[in-house]
Structure 1
């Protein structure tokens, strides 16, 4: 399906989060009016970084909404030409019932957003998935190029207690099934890798914690040295806007800019911030590593910044926030 995507009002779910905050900043700077959904009252201090964005006073409206509250999602999406579904449950600490708290939550929340979008007759929905929904599959050969046709194995994820990967896979699959059944909902999904870069929000998201703990040498006693697929949060925001605005966008898009082993990541970071105590106990076991392709997204016009810039900007951001003391 190719529609002409016009600028106007768009809804961003999970507006206070890491990726969503940068997306909203980009949307506001590009002339969009944004309806952002937040779980707490919009006046809460945790959303001050959004209210202080350029053009926010005139073009940003925050809605107290919960993904499980269908009526609240309808209110937030009403009048919008597009929806960016960014909100997703991410494990933090112990989870008592991951099948319910992560998987069912992700699926039900996504379905409510899609139903509300269909009711509002929006032009396009962009759903943020993850490479976690693409690459976790033992049946793939070591020489296989991993692209948008690949899916993580749900049974394998469940049997290995990889609940985050399962939740992203299940939610994306169900979303695509819903869009196909609806015969009127234009859905595009984006699958980012591990997202680094400076944060706008006051809270610390999981991928930022990973990098902060990595720099401070606070990882587990021994970690694997497998490749990590990394992308800058600002490049993710640009990819989301790109797939929304390009009429020819369709299906899935992998969004991963750099492939690097943790040992190489440590060496790169030492050049940027040499005074830190870096983790250096890596398991050098040679395991199969497949190449993940973002060619489809790049053919659409996506470009990305150097990894060195992402890491340098992240370190400066963490230092200013007192997170590396």
Structure 2
């Protein structure tokens, strides 16, 4: 159990947190700590990935290893714990970073960001999300783990924490007019209801939107966990 009153005070104020919430401290590269936290869980939502707001001196140590090796550690621990399903939150940046992509060709669930381009231009976060997701899908198939991968764009909404996070900083720029191009996600439950039963599909769903939709991201992740059959599932939107 992890106790840090100042950092986690807002989480402890959630409904029924006193009885239903347990916090564990675990480094993504510390398999033992992850295994201890995951033990006994039936559903795992892996959302952690380093996203530094500054230049990094050692991208492999600070970004790539925690993203890739950390994700594989989570999957391994989930399999050993007998988890029913893992929902892995990837990113649109694992799909869209492709400078030579034809402008008249729509990106779909088969698209992957160009790893060589990300490496050359030092887009470390994009590279980490691409490597982490592709590695996760291969590893999950190898060990027989039920994995769903979600690729959201900009995740915004009411904040639980008392400080502004990276996504909401982008949204503030949009409201101030300092950012004229932005990508937004929509409710994953809405995506599923529009397109039938996603349980029969694998990696898919790239939506093109021209309007702003309300996001219920956590509800969407929970819904993906409850699907009876879904090998891997994308929910991506553009604005």
TM-score range, shorter chain: 0.7 to 0.9
Counterpart CA distance in 1 for 2:34 and 2:65 is 18
User: Which residue is 2:26 aligned to?
Assistant: 65
Residue in 2 aligned with 1:207? Answer: 167
**Corresponding residue number in structure 1 for 2:147:** 187
SS in 1 for 2:29: coil
Verify the 8 A CA contact 1:147 1:254 in the aligned structure 2: no
The structural deviation recorded for 1:181 is 1.2
Deviation at 1:45, TM superposition (A): 1.7
Distance (whole Å) between structure 2 residues aligned to residue 255 and residue 213 of structure 1: 22
Deviation at 1:59, TM superposition (A): 1.1
- Aligned pairs (5 A) from 1:197-236: 197-216=157-176, 219=178, 225=180, 227-231=181-185, 234-236=215-217
Which segments of 5 or more consecutive residues in structure 2 lack a partner in the other structure?
187-213
Contact 1:136 1:152 in 2 (8 A): yes
Alignment of 1:143-154 (within 5 A): 143-154=104-115
CA distance in 1, matches of 2:13, 2:94: 34
**Pick from 218, 224, 229: which aligns with 1:243?**
224
For residue 44 of structure 1, what is the aligned residue in structure 2?
5
How many residues of Structure 1 are paired with residues of Structure 2 in the alignment? 212
| CA-to-aligned-CA distance 1:98-124 (integer Å, 9 cap, x gap) | 233111221111111111101101000
TM-score, normalising length from structure 1?
Answer: 0.61
Partner Cα distance (2:136, 2:27) in 1: 18
* Of 92-101 and 46-55, the range deviating more from structure 2: 92-101
Aligned partners of 1:236 and 1:255 also within 8 Å: no
Tell me how large the CA RMSD over aligned residues is: 1.9
Whether 2:233 is the aligned partner of 1:252: answer yes
Residue 236 of structure 1: how far off its partner (Å): 1.9
1:125 aligns with 2:122: no
Residue 205 of structure 1 and its aligned partner are, at CA, apart by: 1.5
Q: Matches of residues 100-115 of structure 1 in structure 2 within 5 Å?
A: 100-115=61-76
Cα distance in 2, alignment partners of residues 249 and 243 from structure 1: 8
1:139 and 1:213 mapped to 2: Cα distance? Answer: 28
Which consecutive residues of structure 1, in runs of 5 or more, have no partner in the other structure? 1-36, 260-325
Contact 1:64 1:72 in 2 (8 A): yes
Shift of 1:214: 4.3
TM-score (norm 2): 0.82
The corresponding residue for 2:47 is: 86
Q: Distance in 1 between matches of 2:164 and 2:100?
A: 35
